[in-house]
A and B are shown apart, each in its own frame.
Chain A
Amino acid sequence: MNNDEISSGLSRRTFIKTGLGAGAGLSLGVWLPALAQMGGPGKAGAAGATGALEPNAFVRIGPDGVVQVVAKHLEMGQGSWTGLATLVAEELDADWDQVEVIGAPADAARYNNLFWGPVQGTGGSTAMANSHKQMREAGAAARAMLLAAAAERWGVEVGDITIDRGTVTGPGAGQRAGFGDLAEAAAAQPVPDLVFLKDRKDFRLIGQMLPRKDNPGKVNGTALYTQDIRLPDMLTAVVLHSPRFGGRLSGFDAADAKKVSGVVDVFEIPSGVAVVARDTWSAMSGRDALRAEWDDSDAFTGTAGELMARYRDMADQPGTVVRADGDVAAALAAADTVLAADYEFPFLAHATMEPMNCVVRVDAEGCEIFNGAQLQTGDQMAVAQALGIEPGQVRINMLYAGGSFGRRANPHSDYVLEALHIAKHVGRPVPVKLVWTREDDMRAGYYRPMYFHRLRGAVGPDGKPSVWQHRIVGQSILAGTAFAEALIKDGVDSTSVEGASDLPYGIPNLGVDLHSPVVPVPVQWWRAVGSTHTAFSTETFIDELAVAAGKDPVEYRLGLLGDHPRHARVLQLAAEKGGWGAPAPEGQFRGIALHESFNTRVAQVVDVSLDGDGAWRVHRVVVAVDCGMAINPDNIRAQVEGGMGFGLSAALGEAITFDGGRVVEGNYDGYPVLRMNQMPRVEVHIVKNDAPPTGVGEPATPVIAPAVAIALHRATGQRLRRLPLKLG
């Protein structure tokens, strides 16, 4: 899908007014006409976390003057709620302080991700990219209705009225009104057929540093996550899972567990044995007292090392062709010297700070869910199917997620269905909160898949790469999911090869092929998905070719980026700001890497030193990023800092391994994630341009590991090709 240019699908006569009672103020929504017919205004309303009914629209202005922006995207840390509100408030000329954000109810017809068809979800760094026009149009339409109402009230022309930071002013004396004063009258105005968006030079909020809308609740402890939901009569559940993927429960003894004070019930569900209790500690204590036997005849009982050996063997044979430019075999045969490199990438856990959890209540109307759902309507469909009800009967309250990085967009709705099975068994309309412990979360699978890469290439007489052959071996994330049909083409899972199949460097003979072994370890997208491995192999290998050609790695890349001026610019900016070509500080070594993911180009210059015993330390990272129009530069910087840190964490020490099929790592001791004393200084430089905005949540993540590996090569002469990066 080309996400560079998008349209919200809005055109004349596509604004549809929602049905709202008198006095409710102005409310309007915008959506594709065809999809609106599927849903219809006023249908599928959902109760918010407070129990109030929310309208299905993007903007609501109350008589109190509060502008409510209904966010169709999950706020899992990446600033989507602040970004969506910025877009609406910009066109509305609202005061930032009068704007509030609430999560939209799950509704594929109205709140779909415009890049994904009739699916509501947040991912692929698309929150701003898919909705920037839609949200601006929603704000502009509300503004037009406020203007029309003011013109009518004051008997003046719309053109003589201005709006500045939430205040509407007419030409005559005393003609001033707030949004709240006009809301009811504005609701009676016709919804405009056509709206005009501001010229960039008139932006007041876009491009500015604005305080995040979720700041107050997140610094005073009142922000609500799934873990924090407390409802009357709610029970808390934990589940004893099979210690091996594919293991089946063959028996359990609940006698001791049921004796634990507070435990209400213990019963089998499809994914294990549920212990339901009055509170979390009782549920955990009950589970500790539970004994279960597992049938491992179909279970995964191997190790990561055995799997990697199998992948390595597979790489000796050609895989499914992904890309074949020129004649790779002939060019390799003709080369004087062929460089070859094998790369190994481990399974990785998302390890969100908030472990997976979900609150479910099955009631007479259907089902109510409280969750930080990343793929709302996927979960909604799965739950509806399991209960034999309509998706509209599954009401999802969108809460903040305590991190997700892809995990809460499980294509199988794993933890959501687990919670549902428990709530269903409990039977009564009693809400059940499923809580996973850290160990449950880390051992539940759905990892970034393990990958093996093999690269072969050669330098031609002109010094440029004459041939590049890239073989990738690793599990398909999409196989067996609802996305397979759309995103697996000719046997190639696009998420396995992204970043490799679209290599930006001009190389005449270029081949990419893929093996997708079937392995019983559940896998899933993990921040930056395919680029988490392809950026590493491609960038370190282009560096090997540059070194073999005796060229500066920046000059070398620039010579191959003729068709990609935005890549070239971002690389040059990072090189310039990061002091490429100048010596690094005493005892430090410099590396550089460039990668595009989710249509955003990122280059990073790192300064690394050796820390003894094979350890290393990053002191400074200078980043250049081109993500099109900068909606909120400070949030872009925050995402680049954090996204880089996420990638650095994996490069330093993350790996999931198995002992006889059991996941070895269970908590942050065995699975170390980045700590403050490992966080380098970060400088972020944003390329200024007017292109449509692209993603920022993920693209900084994959670039750091290759930049570090290149710096470590300069420091030691060693080429590290296995993640995490340990010096020999």
Chain B
Amino acid sequence: MIELTVNGETHELDADPGMPLLWALRDHLGLTGTKYGCGAALCGACTVHVDGRPRRSCVTTLRVAAGKDIRTIEGLQGPVAKAVQGSWERLNVVQCGYCQSGQIMAAVSLLEGNPRPGPAEIDDAMSGNLCRCATYARIRDAIGKAAEQLAAGEPG
């Protein structure tokens, strides 16, 4: 049995410890907001937070994830998340939307660690997250706007 703490809730899973966290989240816990894109940590669609840091759930095994604090798009909360998601909506960032859970998880991590990232820092932090629709210009703007809003203390 593997004990997995996801979005504050602890689950007991009877699963292969070598199974990537991604498939446990999606197939066993029904948390389908975290997406499969490449299975090889190349695209970032499966990004979740593990102990507060962005991790590719497609290459993070249950063995490694067990006992850690895992957060998915479904459990995202707090002022930074609110600002990022609000900014995403206001700028109409999404197109097909498939990568956007991962983009948002990466963006929230970025702003939690660096409240005022410059353009190069945004590009560095986000370049592991692919968007085939190439919504990058708007993602960049949305992160900038969310950072401004948080700095000004405005509500999301």
* CB neighbours of B73 from chain A (8 A): 220-221
A219 contacts across to B, CB distance below 8 A: 85, 88-89, 93-94, 100, 104
Q: Is B101 engaged at the interface, CB distance under 8 Å to the other chain?
A: yes
CB distance from B30 to the nearest CB of A (A): 6
Give A359 Cβ to nearest chain B Cβ, in Å: 13
| A–B Cβ pairs within 8 angstroms, 22 of them | A78-B95, A212-B94, A214-B94, A219-B85, A221-B34, A221-B73, A221-B74, A225-B35, A281-B27, A353-B96, A402-B96, A638-B135, A645-B134, A646-B132, A667-B39, A668-B38, A668-B42, A668-B43, A676-B123, A676-B126, A676-B136, A679-B140
Task: Identify the stretch in B18-26, B49-57, B147-155 within 8 Å (CB) of chain A at 4 or more residues.
Answer: B18-26
Using Cβ atoms and an 8 Å threshold, which residues of chain B touch A403? 96, 98, 132-133
The reply to whether the CB of A642 lies closer than 8 angstroms to some CB of chain B is: yes
B45 in contact with A353 (CB, 8 Å): yes
- How many Å lie between the Cα of A212 and that of B132 in the bound state? 19
Query: In this assembly, does B109 line the interface, its C-beta being within 8 Å of a C-beta of chain A?
Result: no
How many B residues, CB 8 Å from partner?
58
Interface string of A355-370 (1 = CB under 8 A from B): 1000000000000000
Also in contact, A438 and B132, with CB within 8 A (given A216-B89, A230-B32, A676-B127):
no
Chain B residues whose CB sits within 8 angstroms of the CB of A401 once the complex forms = 96
When A77-B96, A223-B97, A679-B134 are in contact, do A215 and B89 touch as well, CB less than 8 Å?
yes
The 0/1 profile, CB within 8 Å of A marked 1, for residues 61-87 of chain B is 000000000001110100000000100
Asked if A316 is an interface residue, CB under 8 A from chain B, the answer is: no
Smallest Cβ-Cβ distance to B125: which chain A residue: A676
Identify the closest chain B residue to A621 (Cβ): B137
Which residues does chain B contribute within 8 Å of A641, judged by CB atoms? 134-135, 137-138
In the complex, chain B residues whose CB is within 8 Å of the CB of A507: none
Contact A673 to B92, CB < 8 A, known contacts A279-B28, A437-B39? no
Nearest chain-B residue to A435 (Cβ)? B36
Q: Is the CB of A679 within 8 A of B136?
A: yes
Are B27 and A236 closer than 8 Å at their CB atoms?
A: yes
Which B residues lie at the A interface, using CB under 8 A? 16, 19-20, 23, 26-28, 30-40, 42-43, 45, 72-74, 76, 85, 88-90, 92-101, 104, 122-124, 126-140
User: What are the residues of chain A within 8 A of B97 when measuring CB–CB?
Assistant: 77, 214, 217-218, 223, 400, 402
- In the complex, are the beta carbons of B35 and A354 less than 8 A apart? yes
B98 engages A353 (CB within 8 Å): yes
Give how many A residues have a beta carbon under 8 Å from the other chain's beta carbons: 64
Is the CB–CB distance between B32 and A227 below 8 Å?
yes
Any chain B CB within 8 A of the CB of A675? yes
Q: 6 closest Cβ contacts across the A-B interface?
A: A221-B33, A645-B134, A402-B98, A77-B96, A218-B97, A77-B95
Q: Are the CB atoms of A353 and B134 closer together than 8 Å?
A: no
Q: Find out whether the CB atom of B30 lies under 8 angstroms from the CB atom of A438.
A: no
Q: Is A681 an interface residue (CB 8 A)?
A: yes
Contacts of B134 in A (CB 8 A): 641-646, 648-649, 674, 679
Chain B residue, CB-CB nearest to A357: B36
The reply to whether A77 and B133 contact each other, CB–CB distance below 8 Å, is yes
Contact present for B101 and A215 (CB under 8 Å): no
In the bound complex, how far is the Cα of B130 from the Cα of A697, in angstroms?
A: 19
Taking a contact as CB atoms under 8 Å apart, the answer to whether A225 and B136 are in contact is: no
Closest-CB distance, B130 to chain A (whole angstroms): 6
* Residues of chain A in range 619-654 having any CB-CB distance to chain B below 8 Å: 634-635, 638, 641-646, 648-649
Q: Which of B19, B133, B134, B137 has the most CB of A within 10 A?
A: B134
Q: Nearest chain-A residue to B140 (Cβ)?
A: A676
Whether A225 contacts B98 in the complex (CB less than 8 A), given A219-B89, A220-B85, comes out as yes
B20, B33, B74, B99: which contacts A281 (Cβ < 8 A)?
A: B20
Of chain B, the residue at the smallest CB distance from A225 is: B98
A306 at interface (Cβ–Cβ under 8 A)? Answer: no
Residues of A near any B CB (own CB < 8 A): 76-79, 209, 211-212, 214-225, 227-228, 230, 236, 261, 279-281, 285, 351-355, 400-405, 435, 437-438, 634-635, 638, 641-646, 648-649, 667-669, 673-677, 679, 681-682
Q: Which residues of B contact A218 (CB under 8 A)?
A: 94, 97, 100
Q: Is the CB of B38 within 8 A of A667?
A: yes
Q: A669 and B40: CB pair below 8 A?
A: yes
A678 CB to nearest B CB, Å: 8
Contacts beyond the supplied A77-B96, A78-B95, A646-B132: 15 A-B pairs with Cβ under 8 Å: A218-B100, A219-B85, A220-B73, A230-B30, A279-B27, A280-B27, A280-B36, A353-B35, A403-B98, A438-B38, A641-B135, A642-B135, A643-B134, A644-B134, A677-B123
Q: Which residues of B contact A634 (CB under 8 A)?
A: 92
Q: For residue A78, which residues in chain B have a CB less than 8 angstroms away from its CB? A: 95
Would you call B32 and A212 a contact (CB within 8 A)? no
Q: How far apart are the CA atoms of A648 and B124 in the complex, in Å? A: 19
- A698 CB to closest chain B CB, in angstroms? 13
What's the least CB distance linking B57 to chain A, in Å? 12
Q: Does B123 lie within 8 Å of A668, measured CB to CB? A: no
The distance in angstroms between the C-alpha atoms of A77 and B93, with both chains bound, is 11
The reply to whether A281 and B130 contact each other, CB–CB distance below 8 Å, is no
Q: Report the separation of the CA atoms of residues A7 and B134 in the bound assembly, to the nearest whole angstrom.
A: 33
Are B133 and A281 within 8 A (Cβ)?
A: no
Asked whether A215 lies within 8 Å of B20 as measured between CB atoms, the reply is no
Q: Which residue of A lies closest to B75 (CB)?
A: A221
Of all chain A residues, the one with the shortest Cβ separation from B120 is A677
Chain A residues with CB under 8 A of B23? 279-281
Which residues of B sit under 8 angstroms from A351, Cβ to Cβ? 132
- Check A676–B139 contact: CB distance below 8 A: yes
Query: Which residues of B are found within 8 Å of A216, using beta-carbon distances?
Result: 89
A644 to B34, CA, bound (A): 27
Report Cα–Cα, A353/B123, bound state, in Å.
20
- Name the A residues within 8 Å of B88 (CB-CB): 215, 219
B127 touches A352 (CB 8 A): no
- Give the residue among A219, A641, A677 with the most B Cβ atoms within 10 A: A219
Q: Which of A79, A279, A437 touches B95 (beta carbons < 8 Å)?
A: A79
A279 contact set on B, CB distance < 8 A: 23, 27-28
Residues of A within 8 A of B40 (CB): 438, 667-669
Min distance, Cβ A279 to any Cβ of chain B, angstroms: 4
Q: How far is the CA of A220 from the CA of B76 in the complex (A)?
A: 8
Our pick among B30, B101, B129 for the contact of A676 (Cβ within 8 Å) is B129
Question: In angstroms, how far is the closest chain B Cβ from the Cβ of A357?
Answer: 9
**Most interface-central of A217, A230, A402, A644 (chain B CB within 10 A):** A402
CA distance A674 to B43 in the complex (A): 11
**Chain B residues whose CB sits within 8 angstroms of the CB of A228 once the complex forms:** 26, 32
- Find out whether the CB atom of B34 lies under 8 angstroms from the CB atom of A354: no
| B124 engages A677 (CB within 8 Å) | yes
CA–CA, A400 to B32, complex, Å? Answer: 14
Complex CA distance for A435 and B26, rounded to whole angstroms: 13
A281 contacts B137, C-beta separation under 8 Å: no
Smallest CB-CB separation from B33: which chain A residue?
Answer: A221
Q: Report Cα–Cα, A355/B139, bound state, in Å.
A: 22
Residues on B with beta carbons closer than 8 Å to the beta carbon of A223: 97
Q: With a CB–CB cut-off of 8 A, which chain B residues contact A215?
A: 88-89, 92, 94
CA A667 to CA B131, docked complex, whole Å: 14
Instruction: Kindly list chain B residues whose C-beta atoms are within 8 Å of the C-beta of A438.
Output: 37-40
Q: Are B96 and A400 in contact (CB under 8 A)?
A: yes
Residue numbers in A under 8 Å from B124 (CB-CB): 677
A212→B92 contact, CB < 8 A: yes
Q: Say whether B92 contacts A638, CB under 8 Å.
A: yes
Residue on B nearest A229 in the bound complex, by CB? B32
Taking CB as reference atom, which chain B residue is nearest A261?
B16
Residue numbers in A under 8 Å from B133 (CB-CB): 77, 403, 642, 645-646
Q: Which residue of B is nearest A78, CB measured?
A: B95
Task: Assess the B130–A675 pair: CB atoms within 8 A.
Answer: yes
Task: Pick the most buried of A78, A285, A400, A677: most chain B CB atoms within 10 A of its CB.
Answer: A677
Q: What CA separation (Å) do A211 and B88 show in the bound complex?
A: 10
A646 nearest in chain B by CB position = B134
- Please measure, in the bound complex, the distance between the C-alpha atom of A659 and the C-alpha atom of B99, giving whole angstroms: 31
Shortest CB distance B50–A (Å): 17
